[in-house]
A = this chain, B = another copy of it.
Amino acid sequence: MQTNTAYIELIRRVREEALLSSCEALLEWDEETYMPAGGVENRGEQLALLAGLLHDRGTDPLLGELLEELEGSDLMADPTTPAAVNVRELRREYDRYVRLPRRLVEDVARTTALAQAAWARARAEADFSTFRPWLEKVVELKRAEAECVGYVREPYDALIEDHEPGMTSQILARLFEALQRELVPLAPRIAEAAGTTKPLRKPFPVLQQRAFGEAVAVRVGFDPKRGRFDLGVHPCCTAIGPGDCRLVLRFDPQDFAGGLLTILHEVGHGLYEQGLDPQHYGTPTGEPASVGMDESQARLWENRVGRSLGFWQHFYPKAKELFPEPLAGVSLDRFLKTVNRVRPSLIRVNADEVTYNLHVLVRFEVERALMSGDLSVGDTPEAWNDGYRRYLGIVPSNDKEGCLQDGHWADGLIGYFPTYTLGDVFAAQLFASAEAELGSLETQFALGEFAPLVTWLGQKVFRAGGRLSSARLIESITGSPPDHRPLVQGLRTKYSRLYNL
């Protein structure tokens, strides 16, 4: 076969896989938003079928032959061309994929579809015991997956690698160790300095919160003609395809800032998806570099933008117009302090910037131990609570505010949580570089100017797609490999200013 013909055939196959995946994405989005309770079993069967089809295609020996042929061709001469990037990344995915038996893939899909419904019920009733058999099954399947895929040191590595190529438990453990050393003492210092700052819990009608949040999302650059907003139990961003990126939101009728930060988080993912090169849709060149890099965009918009003075200088007057009563007598300074309130808490998605990565640390340790077998599923609530005691100094009073709070495990996502912290680390590095090039971003935010930052991210991150691994991409943009110091430094600077620490 001619090299060109082989490459065209490779891309045709891979694009068809992407289309099938995008059908899967719609089924998952629908499960999060609109599917009636009676649809859950069929949904499991649908997802299992698509997972099986994707597995068949992803492991087709012809794909391996095409890759082998292309790897020996002059298409690979320049490793930075889309063709070379695609062949390299598709090889990595193929090698991983062929190690997973179809039966296991289908089993994971079917189990997690049912486990999600079980988790939602267990969470509603704060009853770990009804979720436990599902988590046992998930852990068992993920350990089987790790054994099939292979790993050098420990099973958990095989799962991390799936979301963040090149990352390992060891590297993450060192990163968490450094963060923990800095953040565990920092959090109470800020909390003490903040003193009386109370959370702003007043009635903010959900319909208006939603309208305000969507307007902000559009204002900062999310294109609603190529996406939409819906409500669901677990906020997320689902790309159904180019031109169709959907944000699932959740609002607390008493917590205006929390809902808005959630939107900004998902907007960060959404801007990345909407900024990918549609020409390369369905191929690694047109996809996010990694889950951690994807998360960096969410964390950047949630924390670096959404908790900044500049952002609220622009939006707070509009918020006061919309919510005159609950915001009456609340100055911008007071509001900003509530948005940046630091306090050990139990629910990760509501956590402040400083303690957030300690929440992730708890999950990292629990997952690592579940995978190694050092922890049994039945002991998970205890290990979870113990982690909170150690790192945050507080203990959940029930499993709804403990180990049932996130749906990730029900979704089969083990090894995923650490990417949140990687995202935070990357976000801080990117933000510092953007400011070095563009000047004070907060000043721009205060003027309602978000386009310079979005354009910069588009050029540096979105359009780069999967050309480089996340670690190499960060180094190519910022000049440094992944580094926890900009994150810690950013927090120190901000909180010193806010509270004259």
Contact = CB atoms under 8 A, between A and B. Distances in A.
A49 B34 CA distance: 24
Nearest to A33: B34
A147 interface: no
B39 A240 contact: yes
A243 B22 contact: no
Contacts of A43: 241, 244
A49 B22 CA distance: 11
Contacts of A141: none
Interface stretch (A128-136, A223-231, A348-356): A223-231
Interface stretch (A23-31, A309-317, A438-446): A23-31
A36 B241 contact: no
Contacts of A26: 26-27, 30, 46
Contact of A36 (B36, B53, B244): B244
A20 interface: yes
Contacts of A42: 19, 22, 240-244
A328 interface: no
A26 to B, nearest CB: 6
Contacts of A329: none
Given A30-B26, A38-B226, A226-B36, A19 B240 contact: no
Contacts of A34: 34, 228, 230
A243 B35 CA distance: 10
Q: Which 4 A-B pairs have the closest CB atoms?
A: A39-B244, A38-B243, A42-B241, A38-B226
Interface of A: 16, 19-20, 22-23, 26-27, 30, 34-43, 45-46, 49-50, 53, 223-228, 230, 240-244, 246
6 contacts: A19-B46, A34-B228, A36-B224, A38-B244, A42-B242, A43-B244
